[in-house]
Amino acid sequence: MKSLPYFCRGEVIKGFGRGSKELGIPTANLPDSVVDNLPADLNTGIYYGWACVGAGDIHKMVMSIGWNPFYKNIKKSMEAHLIHTFKEDFYGEILSVVLVGYVRPERSFSSLEALILAITGDIEEAKVKLELPEHLELRGDNFFTSAPSGSSAAPPTAPSASQTILNGH
Protein backbone atom coordinates (compact mmCIF):
# COMPACT_ATOMS: atom_id res chain seq x y z
CA MET A 1 0.00 0.00 0.00
CA LYS A 2 1.48 3.26 -1.14
CA SER A 3 -0.08 5.23 1.70
CA LEU A 4 1.93 3.50 4.45
CA PRO A 5 3.16 4.76 6.75
CA TYR A 6 -0.03 6.77 7.29
CA PHE A 7 -0.21 9.50 9.94
CA CYS A 8 -3.48 10.74 11.43
CA ARG A 9 -4.92 12.10 14.62
CA GLY A 10 -8.28 12.94 16.02
CA GLU A 11 -10.36 13.17 19.15
CA VAL A 12 -11.23 9.83 20.78
CA ILE A 13 -14.98 9.35 20.56
CA LYS A 14 -17.40 6.85 22.09
CA GLY A 15 -17.66 3.79 19.90
CA PHE A 16 -20.01 0.83 19.87
CA GLY A 17 -19.33 -0.10 23.49
CA ARG A 18 -18.19 -3.64 22.80
CA GLY A 19 -14.37 -3.52 22.81
CA SER A 20 -13.94 -3.61 26.56
CA LYS A 21 -17.29 -5.04 27.56
CA GLU A 22 -17.81 -7.84 25.07
CA LEU A 23 -14.30 -8.59 23.86
CA GLY A 24 -12.12 -7.62 26.81
CA ILE A 25 -10.02 -5.68 24.30
CA PRO A 26 -10.58 -1.93 24.78
CA THR A 27 -10.49 0.28 21.71
CA ALA A 28 -10.23 3.99 21.02
CA ASN A 29 -12.40 5.15 18.12
CA LEU A 30 -11.53 8.03 15.82
CA PRO A 31 -14.21 10.41 14.48
CA ASP A 32 -15.83 10.28 11.03
CA SER A 33 -13.72 13.27 9.98
CA VAL A 34 -10.62 11.05 10.15
CA VAL A 35 -12.28 7.94 8.68
CA ASP A 36 -13.72 9.91 5.75
CA ASN A 37 -10.27 11.20 4.77
CA LEU A 38 -8.50 7.85 4.51
CA PRO A 39 -6.66 7.38 1.20
CA ALA A 40 -8.47 5.24 -1.37
CA ASP A 41 -5.63 2.69 -1.49
CA LEU A 42 -5.79 2.03 2.26
CA ASN A 43 -7.84 -1.17 2.26
CA THR A 44 -10.14 -2.15 5.08
CA GLY A 45 -8.62 -4.62 7.49
CA ILE A 46 -6.30 -4.87 10.44
CA TYR A 47 -3.18 -2.70 10.70
CA TYR A 48 -0.39 -2.29 13.22
CA GLY A 49 1.54 0.76 14.23
CA TRP A 50 2.24 3.30 16.94
CA ALA A 51 -0.11 5.57 18.87
CA CYS A 52 -0.13 8.03 21.73
CA VAL A 53 -2.85 9.73 23.72
CA GLY A 54 -2.34 13.48 24.08
CA ALA A 55 1.31 14.16 24.82
CA GLY A 56 1.68 10.78 26.55
CA ASP A 57 3.91 7.82 25.88
CA ILE A 58 3.96 6.11 22.49
CA HIS A 59 2.60 2.56 22.47
CA LYS A 60 2.33 -0.29 20.02
CA MET A 61 -1.18 -0.72 18.66
CA VAL A 62 -3.41 -2.61 16.25
CA MET A 63 -6.23 -0.90 14.40
CA SER A 64 -9.33 -2.18 12.67
CA ILE A 65 -10.43 -0.09 9.69
CA GLY A 66 -13.73 -1.01 8.11
CA TRP A 67 -17.19 -2.31 8.82
CA ASN A 68 -16.36 -5.16 11.22
CA PRO A 69 -18.32 -7.90 9.41
CA PHE A 70 -18.86 -9.95 12.59
CA TYR A 71 -20.97 -7.08 13.93
CA LYS A 72 -22.38 -6.06 10.53
CA ASN A 73 -21.61 -2.38 11.03
CA ILE A 74 -23.28 -0.02 8.59
CA LYS A 75 -20.69 2.71 9.19
CA LYS A 76 -16.97 2.45 8.46
CA SER A 77 -14.86 2.95 11.58
CA MET A 78 -11.28 3.20 12.81
CA GLU A 79 -10.82 1.42 16.15
CA ALA A 80 -7.38 1.32 17.78
CA HIS A 81 -6.31 -1.05 20.53
CA LEU A 82 -3.24 0.33 22.24
CA ILE A 83 -1.06 -2.43 23.64
CA HIS A 84 -0.91 -0.89 27.09
CA THR A 85 -3.11 -0.90 30.17
CA PHE A 86 -4.62 2.51 30.88
CA LYS A 87 -6.04 3.35 34.31
CA GLU A 88 -9.02 5.22 32.87
CA ASP A 89 -10.86 6.03 29.66
CA PHE A 90 -9.55 8.87 27.53
CA TYR A 91 -12.59 10.05 25.58
CA GLY A 92 -12.06 13.57 24.27
CA GLU A 93 -8.27 13.24 24.22
CA ILE A 94 -6.32 13.49 20.97
CA LEU A 95 -5.10 10.13 19.66
CA SER A 96 -2.12 10.35 17.30
CA VAL A 97 -1.56 7.27 15.14
CA VAL A 98 0.92 6.08 12.56
CA LEU A 99 -0.17 3.01 10.62
CA VAL A 100 2.95 1.06 9.73
CA GLY A 101 1.82 -2.26 8.26
CA TYR A 102 -1.10 -4.45 7.25
CA VAL A 103 -1.96 -7.66 9.09
CA ARG A 104 -5.01 -9.05 7.30
CA PRO A 105 -8.31 -8.18 5.62
CA GLU A 106 -11.40 -7.86 7.78
CA ARG A 107 -13.69 -10.87 7.84
CA SER A 108 -16.55 -12.34 9.78
CA PHE A 109 -16.13 -15.09 12.35
CA SER A 110 -18.26 -18.05 13.36
CA SER A 111 -18.23 -17.07 17.03
CA LEU A 112 -17.19 -14.36 19.47
CA GLU A 113 -14.44 -16.68 20.72
CA ALA A 114 -13.04 -17.02 17.18
CA LEU A 115 -13.02 -13.22 16.80
CA ILE A 116 -11.20 -12.78 20.13
CA LEU A 117 -8.66 -15.43 19.11
CA ALA A 118 -8.01 -13.62 15.81
CA ILE A 119 -7.59 -10.25 17.54
CA THR A 120 -5.20 -11.80 20.06
CA GLY A 121 -3.17 -13.17 17.14
CA ASP A 122 -3.19 -9.73 15.47
CA ILE A 123 -1.85 -8.19 18.69
CA GLU A 124 0.95 -10.76 18.94
CA GLU A 125 1.90 -10.23 15.28
CA ALA A 126 1.98 -6.46 15.82
CA LYS A 127 4.26 -6.82 18.85
CA VAL A 128 6.78 -8.79 16.78
CA LYS A 129 6.65 -6.70 13.59
CA LEU A 130 6.96 -3.40 15.44
CA GLU A 131 10.36 -4.53 16.75
CA LEU A 132 11.76 -4.41 13.18
CA PRO A 133 14.26 -1.51 12.85
CA GLU A 134 12.28 0.23 10.10
CA HIS A 135 9.17 0.21 12.30
CA LEU A 136 10.94 1.18 15.53
CA GLU A 137 12.25 4.24 13.69
CA LEU A 138 8.69 5.56 13.23
CA ARG A 139 8.08 5.42 16.98
CA GLY A 140 10.42 8.38 17.29
CA ASP A 141 8.84 10.41 14.48
CA ASN A 142 8.36 14.10 15.28
CA PHE A 143 4.67 13.66 14.41
CA PHE A 144 4.22 12.39 17.97
CA THR A 145 5.90 15.40 19.57
CA SER A 146 4.27 18.06 17.41
CA ALA A 147 1.23 19.79 18.87
CA PRO A 148 -2.09 18.54 17.41
CA SER A 149 -3.06 22.08 16.44
CA GLY A 150 0.05 22.35 14.30
CA SER A 151 1.56 25.01 16.58
CA SER A 152 4.18 24.80 19.28
CA ALA A 153 1.53 25.27 21.97
CA ALA A 154 0.48 22.44 24.26
CA PRO A 155 -2.41 20.32 22.97
CA PRO A 156 -5.83 21.72 23.86
CA THR A 157 -7.77 19.84 26.50
CA ALA A 158 -11.09 20.01 24.64
CA PRO A 159 -10.41 19.93 20.88
CA SER A 160 -13.15 19.76 18.30
CA ALA A 161 -14.00 16.37 16.82
CA SER A 162 -13.03 17.66 13.37
CA GLN A 163 -9.45 18.45 14.37
CA THR A 164 -7.19 16.14 12.41
CA ILE A 165 -3.83 16.06 10.69
CA LEU A 166 -3.76 13.65 7.81
CA ASN A 167 -0.62 11.97 6.56
CA GLY A 168 1.65 14.80 7.31
CA HIS A 169 3.92 16.24 9.91
The catalytic site residues sit at 79
Task: Pick the closest to residue 39 from 144, 167, 148 (CA basis).
Answer: 167
Strand order in the sheet with 165-166: 28-29, 77-82, 58-66, 45-53, 94-104, 6-11, 165-166
Give CA–CA dist 133/30, Å, rounded: 28
Q: How many CB atoms lie within 10 A of CB 88?
A: 5
